[in-house]
Amino acid sequence: MDIIDSIILGIIQGLTEFLPVSSSGHLELGKAILGDNSVPEESLLFTVVLHFATALSTIVVFRKDILDLIKGALKFEWNDDLQFISKIALSMVPAVIVGLFFEAQLEALFGGSILLVGCMLIVTAVLLFLADKAKNTDKKVSFKNAFVIGISQAIAMIPGISRSGATISTSVLLGNDKTKAARFSFLMVVPLIFGKIAKDIMSGDLTYDSGNFTSLSIGFIAAFVAGLFACTWMIALVKKSKLTYFAIYCAIVGLIAIGFVLFNN
């Protein structure tokens, strides 16, 4: 993989991990339009590196929150910090179940089904539009909310549904504060990313070629910087109710994808 490909893939990973446009959906569309051989294929190691970069960017943005949570949890009291960590753990359950028991069925969806991607992008657009119109509150995420948000995160494994878009929208539609919804959405994915990285490492399928060090390093930096920007920007957008722009974008791309399939059949 050359340096340009590394930069492009790093930026795409960093941006789409946080912006509600569905990275998996766009990748499937790219493969269909350009052809499978026209889209650079990420090695497993490169994928792990990019995911680590975006997880690290989340930690940097929320470093104060994370440190406060750790300090609060170390008091070994059923305080707000330990409750928040417990909610994060609860939100992971649906995605873990899907990842462990339905991996084959999930991978089958990533076979160039443009109609599926188009329809799911429309679903993402509707969710974003509804969330943007919801009234802001000061309500915190409850345990019940955390599990429901976790279900939306599991559903977002389908190509075309944005993870950040689905989780933030679900949280806001449940009546939670928009800023708290974004914070919970971004923090809840960190343990999942590290869990996936650990799974990939323990699989024994990772291979390292010293000749790829430059590409890996540049990809990591690109994903990290793009992630810092996207995460910070997304929090501001949610707070200011600016998700409608992404809703319009997802709707347009979704309709184009659906039209592409209908007019070519």
State the residue range of the domain holding 89: 3-263
CA angle 19, 23, 29 (to 5 degrees): 130
The crossing angle, in degrees rounded to 10, of helices 44-61 and 213-239 is 40
User: Which has the closest alpha carbon to 17: 172, 144, 192, 137?
Assistant: 192
Is-contact 152 170, C-beta < 8 A? yes
Cα separation, 160 vs 162, whole angstroms: 6
Print pLDDT tens along the chain (265 aa).
Answer: 578 877 887 888 788 888 888 876 766 666 566 554 444 444 567 777 888 898 899 999 999 999 999 999 999 889 999 999 999 999 999 999 988 888 777 777 766 678 888 899 999 999 999 998 888 888 989 999 999 999 999 999 888 898 889 999 999 999 999 889 999 999 998 888 888 778 777 776 666 556 567 888 998 999 899 999 999 998 888 888 788 999 999 999 999 989 988 887 7
Question: Considering its fold, how many domains does the chain have in total?
Answer: 1
